[in-house]
Amino acid sequence: MEEKEVRGSTFIVQIKCMENDTWQGKVIWAEKNRAQYFRSSLELLKLMDRALLDETLSLEDEDEEDGEVVS
């Protein structure tokens, strides 16, 4: 597996509710001013991981919605 250098990033996590023993809410990537809703804690971690590795804040192959720009 190839190692990739990752720069530090800031994410703001807003928990809207907790259903089925997991969080639902919105994560905001502060440096890129992008936001994406998530449906589970696992999805939240996958979004942040993908943001750091691919510099995108979406799971476009799994979600039909793209991340929104926060104003």
Contacts of 50 (CB under 8 A, 6+ apart): 56, 57, 58, 59
Cβ proximity of 46 and 68 under 8 Å: no
- Residue 68 domain-assigned? no
Residue 18 has which token pair? 């907790």
Rg (CA), the chain: 12
Calpha distance 68→2 (Å, rounded): 30
The mean pLDDT value for 6-32 works out to 92
Beta-carbon neighbour count of residue 16 at 10 Å? 11
Q: Which of 8-17, 27-36, 60-69 has the lowest mean pLDDT?
A: 60-69
Is the pLDDT at 63 greater than 50? The verdict is: no
pLDDT the model gives residue 23: 96
- Residue 6 domain-assigned? yes
Is the pLDDT at 27 greater than 90? The verdict is: yes
The mean pLDDT value for 51-56 works out to 85
Domain count of the chain? 1
The range of the structural domain enclosing residue 39 comes to 1-56
The reported pTM is: 0.73
Name which residue leads in pLDDT, 4 or 35: 35
